[in-house]
Amino acid sequence: MPGTTRPTSDVPTDPHAPGPFDRVRPRVFVAVATVLATNLGSIGAAHGQTWASEPGLVGFLLLLVSPAALLFLLPLRPALATALSVAATVTFLLLGFPWGPVFLGPLAVLVGVMLSGEVRRARLIAWSGAALLAGGIGAAASLIAPRVERLVVERPQWRHDDWGPGSGGPRWSGGDSAWFLTPTALIAAAAWLVVVLLIASSARDRVARRTAARAAARATAAERERTAVASERLRIARELHDVLAHSLSAINVQAGVGLHLLEKNPGQAREALTHIRDTSKDALAEVRTVLGIVREGTSPIARDALPDAAAPLAPTWDLTGLRDLADQARADGLDVTVQLAADVGELPDHVVGVVHRVVQESLTNVRRHAPSARRVTLRVTRGEGVEVVVADDGVPAGGPVEPGYGLLGMRERVEGSGGTLTAGPRPDGTGWEVRATLPAPRQASSASEAAPTETGGPA
């Protein structure tokens, strides 16, 4: 349905939704924090790991690779950023520099990859990079283990009861900060890496859902606005068509009469010109009413100042206007009989407006499409709803009548009010009939339906 939105939980994740690390500012913050943590942490770790070398210029340059890759290669080159970070980290370890803080660099890159770029590609690269990092660390631990073993043999004060990566011999003492080279520690580190990436993946999904929900809300708002604009244009066009088509048809007929009688009967020609003046005056007043309502309805000040019930979207009438329409038709030479049920005055305002427009457009069509018509019957009755019938005795000029804007507008008005409309030749073949049925429940206090009143008169 237009104008509705789905719950956020039902909004699908957009695989192309941007992640937090697609923006530069978060990457700068994380890169700076990583530089400080890895460099200062590695200096401190070197003092606790007596078997490790203190990072020099080469070590510091290797520690800068991961922050630089995070800052400059994401989100356009995530695979390259991951490969450089893992390679720099493994090289740092193989050169004998201290373990521990160095892992913050590739971890930051993997999280950054997960939180940037296209979702599926980011996940593939991040998990592949995690596997590559785990393999590289395991390989580095296996290569470094013999060196540490020799140091343990050469320095018995480091000897403990069991041995780390090997299947026999003594293990490294926890006091020398070499405990993370044991298989248990490596497996635990891999498990923590998996946990961190799962959290990052979940955060990415949450961000993608929120982005998709905001995009869906914007699209819904835009569609609602377009629908409202289209509906408003249709309403304005329908109102102006009903006013102008009816009035101009009457003016056209009266102008023809006036031209025909201008020399033969100046008095009747003057009367036709008087009708033209009055009809055009009424049409101008009604057009001003329609445009005034439209302008007031589109003014922010008026919309805020008036409650909904005080801001009508269309002109309002009472059913006395039907007799005015009949009088205008009689002035054009039609013998119009009006039959109104006594209780139709109790109809709701919006129903009265539809009835008025149906009668107005039907009489306009008689003048435009059935010039041979002489008698018109207008009947409005009340039962379960309200029924409007406009029938004439004319024959459509020029063969079958194609449905135009007038008939379409009538149908839209009637069906928009929950009613039905039929228009076509009368069953007895003596003319044309328009029949509209509208729902209009009776009030509990309303009296029973009275006999209809009839008015009529010759042209």
Q: What is the DSSP string of 137-157?
A: HHHHHHHHHHHHHHHHHH-GG
How are beta strands 375-382 and 335-340 bridged, if at all?
parallel
Query: pTM of the full predicted structure?
Result: 0.51
How confident is the model at residue 402, as a pLDDT?
A: 57
Tally of CB atoms within 10 A around 448: 7
Query: What's the burial of 179, exposed, middle or buried (CB within 10 Å: 0-12/13-18/19+)?
Result: middle
How confident is the model at residue 62, as a pLDDT?
A: 94
Q: How would you list the strands of the sheet with 385-392, edge to edge?
A: 420-425, 432-439, 385-392, 375-382, 335-340, 453-457
Query: What's the burial of 104, exposed, middle or buried (CB within 10 Å: 0-12/13-18/19+)?
Result: buried
**CB 145, CB 165: distance < 8 Å:** yes
How are beta strands 420-425 and 453-457 bridged, if at all?
unpaired
Lowest pLDDT segment from 30-44, 184-198, 209-223, 391-405: 391-405
pLDDT digits (tens, 9 = 90+) for 367-405: 777 878 889 999 998 888 889 999 998 876 555 555 566
Lowest pLDDT segment from 80-89, 129-138, 312-321: 312-321
Q: What is the C-alpha separation between 29 and 23, in angstroms, rounded? A: 11
Q: What is the C-alpha separation between 260 and 388, in angstroms, rounded? A: 35
Segment 154-162 shows an average pLDDT of 50
Tally of CB atoms within 10 A around 277: 12
pLDDT digits (tens, 9 = 90+) for 268-321: 777 777 777 777 777 777 777 766 666 655 544 333 433 333 334 445 556 777
| Percent of the chain predicted with pLDDT > 70 | 73
Lowest pLDDT segment from 51-55, 266-270, 414-418, 441-445: 441-445
Whether the per-residue pLDDT at 130 is higher than 90: the answer is yes
Joined together, the tokens standing for residue 211 give: 């982005």
**CB 332, CB 369: distance < 8 Å:** no
Whether the per-residue pLDDT at 359 is higher than 60: the answer is yes
- Phi/psi for 387 (5° steps) reads -120, 130
pLDDT band at residue 449 under the 50/70/90 scheme: very low
pLDDT band at residue 243 under the 50/70/90 scheme: low
CA dist 269 → 319, 335, 382 (Å): 31, 20, 41
The Cβ-side half-sphere exposure at 369, using a 13 Å CA radius, reads 23
Q: What is the C-alpha separation between 294 and 233, in angstroms, rounded? A: 10
CA dist 265 → 211, 258, 262, 268 (Å): 78, 9, 6, 6
| Percent of the chain predicted with pLDDT > 90 | 24
Output the average pLDDT for the chain.
77
pLDDT band at residue 35 under the 50/70/90 scheme: very high
Segment 318-334 shows an average pLDDT of 80
CA dist 280 → 238, 249, 336 (Å): 19, 11, 21
How confident is the model at residue 170, as a pLDDT?
A: 39
DSSP sequence for 59-102: HHHHHHHHHHHHHHTTTT-HHHHHHHHHHHHHHHHHTTPPSSGG
Backbone torsion region of residue 14, taken as left when φ is above 0, otherwise alpha when ψ lies between -120 and 50, otherwise beta: beta
DSSP tag of 383: S
Q: What is the C-alpha separation between 126 and 334, in angstroms, rounded? A: 84
Joined together, the tokens standing for residue 280 give: 């055009």
Please give the residue that has the higher pLDDT: either 410 or 155.
Answer: 410
How confident is the model at residue 306, as a pLDDT?
A: 35
Lowest pLDDT segment from 27-41, 69-83, 196-210, 341-355: 341-355
Q: What is the helix (H) or strand (E) element at residue 400, kind and residue range?
A: none
Q: What is the C-alpha separation between 3 and 47, in angstroms, rounded? A: 65
pLDDT band at residue 162 under the 50/70/90 scheme: very low
Torsion of CA 344, 346, 350, 351, to 10 degrees: -30
Whether the per-residue pLDDT at 360 is higher than 80: the answer is yes
Q: What is the C-alpha separation between 360 and 376, in angstroms, rounded? A: 13
pLDDT band at residue 440 under the 50/70/90 scheme: confident
- Phi/psi for 2 (5° steps) reads -65, 145
Please give the residue that has the higher pLDDT: either 363 or 179.
Answer: 363
pLDDT digits (tens, 9 = 90+) for 167-185: 344 344 444 455 667 788 8
